[in-house]
Structure 1
């Protein structure tokens, strides 16, 4: 086979400190929403693949949980392990550094972990749209001078304005090894449909709750199916989900006064599901208490 058209396929781990912009970056690179986004740290709990097929290239981006320096529970311990494991499996890595938190301790830890795997390592400086004075980027890059020779390059980008994305994509394509594709064409992610539905509702819960509550809950899609509506001659998506919390007080916060908060969350989640699937969605949310859910899920 001609080398110029040989299939190439590679896994690129996207790692970074909590809330550095990893999920936003992967959604821009995939040009689809494959992972949820929140302004709260530790939103991503598991490795999520975002898969891009371009000509004879297949790029598999791995969105990982933000590096937890001092895990406080089983969930955070598992998240830390997931980040490390993703680097071990990857053919290359992107270390995402939020320019507003450029000297976070996690940045250098992740850079060294990636370089120890002897894989090509790219540094992406995110959220540059918040800096009007771009000359501030040079001292930031120079602060990593001791590692500069081992790093493929530093790439300032904005997931909001897409500035710098095309340059980054061109560099990443060159890092893919010759290999048969792992996933069929048109696959966007490896996570199941029901998990995608659960994650979408969890995203809306994160945006509606504060303090520790978002980190102490989970969402399980217990049942879903498509049904043809004979009256409107269109398919409908029916979804039943269980929101699991650890304590009675958390349940009250999720429900809100007279159930107002959970209804609002349901409205937001249902609206996005309808936009994604271009059909009516019927979403039913139930809140239950299970003090051991984290132990069972991550123990």
Structure 2
């Protein structure tokens, strides 16, 4: 019988390269929120892949980007920290895009971590033809300066193509060791953090232009009702923070209809993930320029380590 293996796996890439969709596919549950808007991920979320022969702890990082705000600088720092002391780095490279300066920069950062195994994942393969995919795969080795890819794997997390193969390759590449987390645990993410992220995902849906990056959510109060029933019942009151007065109207919508819609979608997601009944009360607050305010960032969970 083969020895049990365990370790940490960093998932990196430019913004909007399919990292969050990949982590959800590997874990088999919604751990990281997804959005067509770049820089959706703000925390190094740990998803846990449990397998009879291995346990892989996945670190879903924010996308490396040219920072314009203090939050942007803090997010880039999270990526560097996430690649320290991991056993495998998975770099996501979209099949429907060509590699540019951002990918070259990230590959150079990966090269600074010689201990980690390095996988190039060509993501979103369902979006292009096999002929174009072959051309994209042919150019991947050019990114590896000072190292060699241990694996190059084309995948599509959206249709679960080659996800099982990737999981198998990850398991074989991890060092021998015991599990870090109990079997059945899918994330070490705080429950309230997950709730905030699900509300933020609902608020970002259909949002335009700069608004998605201006949204932050905090929990004001969360309590469990003392009721009999097969599922627990939680009362949750949360605040959606925006940066400018004009953005309040966008979130509220005509006569509050958009905020009501955000609440309905978020409540359905939260009830599914918590396996509980939920009362969700939302209100909107202007926290001016919170992405540039060190004190606000600290309060919202983005303080310097």
**Structure 1 length normalisation: TM-score?**
0.92
Q: Could you list the structure 1 runs, at least 4 aligned residues long, displaced by more than 6 angstroms after superposition.
A: none
1:142 is displaced (CA, Å) by: 2.1
- The 1-side partners of 2:231 and 2:195 are apart by 20
Question: Aligned to 2:273, which of 271, 276, 288?
Answer: 276
Is 1:140 aligned with 2:136? Answer: yes
Contact 2:122/2:137 (8 A) holds in 1? no
Is 1:215 aligned with 2:206? Answer: no
RMSD over equivalenced CA pairs, Å: 1.8
Question: Aligned to 2:248, which of 247, 251, 254?
Answer: 251
1:36 is displaced (CA, Å) by: 0.4
SS in 2 for 1:264: helix
Which deviates more, 246-255 or 197-206?
246-255
1:170 aligned partner: 168
Is 1:93 aligned with 2:89? Answer: yes
2:8 aligned partner: 11
1:223 is displaced (CA, Å) by: 1.5
2:155 aligned partner: 157
Aligned 1:1-299 pairs, distance under 5 A:
4-5=2-3, 7-68=4-65, 70-118=66-114, 119-131=116-128, 133-146=129-142, 147=144, 150-230=148-228, 234-291=231-288, 293-294=290-291, 295=293, 296=295, 297=297, 298=302
Compared CA separation, residues 100 and 281, structure 1 to 2 (3 A)? same
Structure 1, unmatched stretches of 5+, are: none
1:56 is displaced (CA, Å) by: 4.0
SS in 2 for 1:72: coil
- The 2-side partners of 1:235 and 1:190 are apart by 21
Contact 1:67/1:83 (8 A) holds in 2? yes
Contact 1:12/1:91 (8 A) holds in 2? yes
1:207 is displaced (CA, Å) by: 0.7
- The 2-side partners of 1:267 and 1:254 are apart by 14
Deviations 1:147-200 (A, max 9, x none): 397101211111121111121111111111123322222221122101100000
Deviations 1:96-118 (A, max 9, x none): 01111232332222222112201
Structure 2, unmatched stretches of 5+, are: none
**Structure 2 length normalisation: TM-score?**
0.90
- The 1-side partners of 2:227 and 2:27 are apart by 33
Q: How many residues are matched?
A: 293
Which deviates more, 235-244 or 102-111?
102-111
1:95 is displaced (CA, Å) by: 0.3
SS in 1 for 2:225: strand
1:10 is displaced (CA, Å) by: 0.8
